[in-house]
Amino acid sequence: MLLTISTTHQPATDLGYLLHKNPARLQTVEVSGGQAHVFYPEATAERCTAALLLDLDPVGLVRGRGERGGEGFALEQYVNDRPYVASSFLSVALSKAFSTAMNGTCKDRPALPAEALPLAVKVAVVAAPGPDWPRRLFEPLGYQVETEAYALDPTQPAWGDSQYYTLHLRHDGLRLQDVLTHLYVLLPVLDNNKHYYVDQTEAEKLLHRGGDWLPRHPERDFITRRYLRYRALYVNPTLARLLEGEEDEGSADSVSPRTEEAEGSPVENASPQAAESKDAAHDLAESATLPKVSLHDQRLQQVAQEIYQLAPKRVLDLGCGEGKLLRLLLRQPKIDYILGMDVSHQALTRAAQRLHLAEMPPRQRARLDLIQGSLLYKDERLAGFDAAALVEVIEHLDPSRLAALEAVVFGQARPGHVFVTTPNADYNQFYDTLSAGTFRHTDHRFEWSRAEFAAWATAVAERHGYQVRLVAMGEEVEGVGGPSQMAVFGL
């Protein structure tokens, strides 16, 4: 699978800065299922071409797929089109090899990512449901599209063309970041054969990568359905959110989502190998090949989705940290006002920077305030909210202080709904790097089993007149739960 990107922008070698890959060197990135090699067949001041050669190992792809590898005819799992076709594997490789460019940053030439460049892209090959599909997907984005078809069998012209095409795209002036994002979303849509499990994380990814252009794309529904593998559970809410963002122009995205990258503690990002070997209920082998979305990001997205379904007007993020949930909440246009509170001044400063608070348009700026405060002390400012989130906060407090937090949140502030998440200690056995009795984060004062969390949450709910339901977060393993757990309280 070969992808090339060429430009005649002057000097053309700026492409190397933008892609964060030196034209003089061959660079190789490990990706799920194989390797991506990045090199430059030409790099002069007049014209520069960067190539990404995705070299998938068909045998490696089969490993870890367990029983399901046996589908189809015996050799099909080894002899198939996966190594040759632009697919979700290419998207993962793009996001890994060119993450800086995709996020629109360029350390050495900070102004470059914003520049519209003449660009030509060649992808050999794409699979498509019909010859007109590459055009239907890319032309509305301003590309000139050409496809080269291939006979199914050159010796049997009557059989017609295969479903494979070499795709040529040209654009007179577009940011490289946009081109990469379009390819990231649309190539797997053409191919329609994702190599990993599609869940809410994928829906959030589509909103993140497509939020700027997908709402106005004439094939929006087709793209969304195929991107999310026709899973109605995700397709319909995602379409609804895309459209809402569109109607409420300016508010949904004036906070650039691109600057956000997965963080979280190294332990939490580690893939739970042990779970895989235990043949976990869920298809962890597949999820291990997911483009890297940390557990923490999944958790935030799940909370954001729960909040979204409530359609609250005023939302609190208590212990908001660096503002990752705030960013997701700002993208929900139905929320009028969000208040983020944290005890740490440093965290709040980071949040203000990450959310570009100073540059926010006034209407958006009016939707958000950040305040310093402690959840252990009564605070009038927390009254009058429809929902409050405490994402991975309680375990940072000494158990003896939880009663004070309970009094402040459930006794005094009393939001209509409260979402509390905390690690699930039952799941810690799957983290190889955690020895017994240790926590996932050095600042954690405790980590509760599902039973301990349920006991606390039920008692809190009873004492303060809330209903409560407990929810597993992240990939769930039967009898163990997910890596994290959430209590959803409602008045």
Which residues bind to ligand SAH, rule: CB under 6 A?
319-321, 324-325, 342-344, 347, 374-376, 391-393, 396-397
Half-sphere exposure of 174 (CA within 13 A, CB side): 22
Q: In this complex, which beta carbon is closest to ligand SAH, that of residue 9 or of residue 324?
A: 324
Contact 68, 8 (CB under 8 A): no
Beta bridge partners of 490: 417, 467
Closest chain position to ligand SAH (CB): 321
C-alpha 415/C-alpha 466 separation (Å) is 10
CB of 308 to ligand SAH, least distance (A): 17
Q: In this complex, which beta carbon is closest to ligand SAH, that of residue 99 or of residue 265?
A: 265
Q: In this complex, which beta carbon is closest to ligand SAH, that of residue 10 or of residue 372?
A: 372
Q: In this complex, which beta carbon is closest to ligand SAH, that of residue 206 or of residue 320?
A: 320
Q: In this complex, which beta carbon is closest to ligand SAH, that of residue 307 or of residue 325?
A: 325
CB of 417 to ligand SAH, least distance (A): 16
Strands, DSSP E only, in 65-160?
117-127, 144-151
Label the pairing between strands 314-318 and 161-174.
Answer: unpaired
CB of 414 to ligand SAH, least distance (A): 17
CB of 285 to ligand SAH, least distance (A): 28
N-terminal to C-terminal alpha carbon distance within the chain = 55
Three-state SS for 357-393 is HHHCCHHHHCCEEEEECCCCCCCHHHCCCCEEEEECC
Q: Give alpha helix (H) positions in 192-228.
A: 200-210, 220-227
CB of 258 to ligand SAH, least distance (A): 18
Distance of CA 61 to the CA centre of its chain: 23
Q: In this complex, which beta carbon is closest to ligand SAH, that of residue 256 or of residue 294?
A: 294
C-alpha 156/C-alpha 487 separation (Å) is 62
CB of 395 to ligand SAH, least distance (A): 8
CB of 442 to ligand SAH, least distance (A): 12
C-alpha 202/C-alpha 190 separation (Å) is 16
Which two tokens mark 148? 């080269």
Residues contacting residue 66 through CB under 8 Å, at least 6 positions apart: 279, 285
Q: In this complex, which beta carbon is closest to ligand SAH, that of residue 18 or of residue 307?
A: 307
Q: In this complex, which beta carbon is closest to ligand SAH, that of residue 283 or of residue 379?
A: 379
CB of 330 to ligand SAH, least distance (A): 15
